[in-house]
Amino acid sequence: MKRVALIGMPNTGKSTFFNRVTGASARVGNWPGITVDLLTAKILLGGDMVELVDLPGIYDVHGFSDDERVVRQLLETAPIDLVAIVLNAVQVDRQLALAIEVARLGLPSVLLLNMADEAKQFGIRIDTAKMAELLGMPVTLVSAKYGHGQPEAMAAMARALATSVPASTDAIRSRLAEVDRIENDAASVIGAAVDIPERLPAHVSDRIDAVLLHPWLGIPIFFLLMFLVFQGVFHLGEPMQQGLNRVFEWFKGAALVPLFAGLPVLLSGFLLDGVYGGLVTVAAFVPLIVLFFLFMAVVEDSGYLSRAAFLTDALMSRLGLDGRGFVMMLLGFGCNVPAAMGTRIMRSRPLRLLTMLVIPVSLCSARLQVFMFLAGAIFTVQQAPWVIFSLYLASFGAAILTALVFRRSYRSDEPFVIELPPYRLPTARQIGLRAWQEVRHFLHRATKFIVIGVVLIWLLTHLPSSVPPGSAGTLAGMLGHAFEPLLSPLGIDQQLTLALIFGFIAKEVMIGAFAVIFGLEGQALATHLHASFDWVQAYSFMLFTLIYTPCLSTIATLRAESNSNRFALVSLAWGLALAWGVSLAFYQTMRHFGY
């Protein structure tokens, strides 16, 4: 099967083009470094079934950063039949050098100038025929966001693929060193083929940036926007969540209880209270997840997060980090795993390691599901958004403290450079793809981790069968009793301790764990939690859950990205120690003042 590689600089719309032509759901975000893995899909191109590979965004093929090394290694070792080079047409004068580098390697290539609609708005005119003649490769204008120019691009790729003669990997290796005169060549092509006005027209981005990048107002505005997102999620999501709970309770009483009536009591309880109860508790949070990521897709794809990185760089530099570290923390709000992998865009190993130490305290979507459940159960609708918002602030505080503690151990002098793209209004398709991807990822994890975790918890709370379920005589009771001296000063009892233990596998497991541990589900479970725990206990538990350890997948990723068992153990030990100290300080202080 022939292989077509997509190569381009970060933030050129490469993954958007990949999604559009393949129908896949590769994540699209409007900030540099979003693609950190090799995404592949099979498509029909002309008369051939080909493998399309979306490579990480790179600035050149020298191989200084980890992302660049990934691309360089692929070019040196894997046969490539065609390279589709995706550049930002608005910044073609700064990005064309990459296309010339690839052409010098002797690889059959097609140049796709993306964001052609924005280039037209800026008054940039590109003579594609002249550029194609000078570069020796087909050149087409496209807008991956709207699909404009896609048929022409696919046709050009098909024609080039039909006549392509791939260079040998040995030839590629020898040519990778011959890139000395590229900048001069790029300047000559730009001068002959591109007409850029001396001053680009004033754009609305400049007026928005005057407010959002204000040295004093910028950061408060960012936190205000995030708070509004949480308000929208709770106020719109709670009625949907309650409706789903009523449907699930009706289905259990009308269909499942009669169906399992003839089974042994232990088996019936396992199926109803264990498997179904855990799944129902998890599934009821799908509306909240959808709403959260719909809102976040607008924030991310609009170009605002790149500005958040720029805005916070001065603060982050005092912590030994840079603005990219802030972006990775924000990416960690979705999932810590891709955030840790995203540090590959940093060339300095100490900077990467320090950033990876900070990421695990980011309030990821899995933790968010647990916090939304507890906030909705124990706090009022008016209080819940403030609770979630305060946990995000606590997440930033834990990250700052972590950086301050370890910055002397991981010093770096790497400069911070980032592109500030124009603000863009994401399309409904982009937003829908993002929300669907996150929900699909959540449900996929539910089938793998949550069900297994819930089943294990049910067994621990019901075995041995000679004692009452959930009592101190069960395996769960014994396990909770063993940790009681350590966690009781934090207000965390034996039942919550068991949920924390299984949260190490995946934080989503904790939601199903509550249903099994307390033998309740839906609104009944929420009512029981509200009656059993006061707000001080609940918030102390949430603080501990926020910090104590990321999921098993994140620990494995930290080990792989750092290539160090010691580093992974340091990250794990630090999280546990910090969580215990923070929760202890909060709980004992509140109790001291009579709360």
212 occurs within a structural domain: no
317 occurs within a structural domain: yes
What average pLDDT score do residues 133-155 get?
Answer: 93
pLDDT recorded at residue 270: 81
In contact, 321 and 359? CB cutoff 8 Å: no
pLDDT recorded at residue 468: 75
What average pLDDT score do residues 129-149 get?
Answer: 93
Sheet harboring 48-54: ordered strands across? 39-45, 48-54, 2-8, 82-88, 109-114, 139-141
What CATH number is given to the structural domain containing 188?
3.40.50.300
Do 302 and 381 lie in one domain? The reply is yes
Instruction: Domain count for the chain, please give it.
Output: 2
Q: What are the residues whose beta carbons fall under 8 Å from the beta carbon of 23, sequence distance 6 or more? A: 41
Task: Round to whole Å and give the CA distance between 205 and 307.
Answer: 11
pLDDT recorded at residue 579: 97
82 occurs within a structural domain: yes
Q: Is the pLDDT of residue 264 over 70?
A: yes
Q: Give 116's pLDDT tier (boundaries 50, 70, 90).
A: very high
What average pLDDT score do residues 568-587 get?
Answer: 96
Please count the helices (runs of H) and the strands (runs of E) in the chain.
29, 8
Task: List the single range of 200-209, 297-306, 454-463, 505-514 with lowest mean pLDDT.
Answer: 200-209
Task: Round to whole Å and give the CA distance between 164 and 174.
Answer: 20
pLDDT recorded at residue 157: 94
pLDDT recorded at residue 488: 93
In contact, 111 and 83? CB cutoff 8 Å: no
Do 248 and 386 lie in one domain? The reply is yes
The full DSSP string for 18-48 is: HHHHH-------SSTT---S-EEEEEEETTE
DSSP assigned state of 262: T
Q: Is the pLDDT of residue 448 over 80?
A: no
262 occurs within a structural domain: yes
Torsion of CA 249, 254, 255, 260, to 10 degrees: 90
Is the bond preceding 464 in cis, omega lying within 30 degrees of 0? yes
Instruction: Give the percent of the chain with pLDDT over 90.
Output: 27
Task: List the single range of 57-66, 135-144, 205-214 with lowest mean pLDDT.
Answer: 57-66
208 occurs within a structural domain: no
Q: Give 587's pLDDT tier (boundaries 50, 70, 90).
A: very high
DSSP assigned state of 200: P
Largest CA distance in the chain: 86
Q: Is the pLDDT of residue 324 over 70?
A: yes
Task: Round to whole Å and give the CA distance between 195 and 192.
Answer: 8
In contact, 75 and 61? CB cutoff 8 Å: yes
Do 179 and 224 lie in one domain? The reply is no
Do 384 and 313 lie in one domain? The reply is yes
Q: Give 393's pLDDT tier (boundaries 50, 70, 90).
A: very high
Parent domain of 142: 2-195
Q: Of 387, 336, 314, nearest to 542 (Cα)?
A: 387
Task: List the single range of 139-153, 269-283, 301-315, 322-336 with lowest mean pLDDT.
Answer: 269-283
Do 119 and 230 lie in one domain? The reply is no
pLDDT recorded at residue 138: 96
pLDDT digits (tens, 9 = 90+) for 204-219: 777 888 888 888 888 8
- What helix, strand, coil percent values describe the chain, rounded to 5? 65, 5, 30
Task: Considering only residues 221 and 242, tell me which one the structure prediction assigns the higher pLDDT.
Answer: 221
pLDDT recorded at residue 31: 45
Do 400 and 323 lie in one domain? The reply is yes
Do 225 and 121 lie in one domain? The reply is no
Q: Give 89's pLDDT tier (boundaries 50, 70, 90).
A: very high
Phi, psi (5° rounding) for residue 593? Answer: -90, 10
206 occurs within a structural domain: no
pLDDT recorded at residue 188: 78
Do 180 and 255 lie in one domain? The reply is no
Q: Is the pLDDT of residue 202 over 60?
A: no
pLDDT recorded at residue 399: 94
Q: Give 132's pLDDT tier (boundaries 50, 70, 90).
A: very high
Amino acid at 66: D
Chain-centroid distance, C-alpha 304? 16
pTM over 0.95? The answer is no
DSSP assigned state of 418: -
Phi-psi region of 106 (alpha: psi -120 to 50; beta: other; left: phi over 0): left
Task: Considering only residues 370 and 414, tell me which one the structure prediction assigns the higher pLDDT.
Answer: 370
When the pLDDT of each residue in the chain is averaged and rounded to a whole number, the result is 83
85 occurs within a structural domain: yes
Chain-centroid distance, C-alpha 178? 37
What average pLDDT score do residues 446-464 get?
Answer: 70
Instruction: Give the percent of the chain with pLDDT over 70.
Output: 88
Show the 3-state SS of 63-128.
CCCHHHHHHHHHHHHCCCCEEEEEEEHHHHHHHHHHHHHHHHCCCCEEEEEECHHHHHHCCCEECH
418 occurs within a structural domain: no
Structure tokens at 39: 């995404």
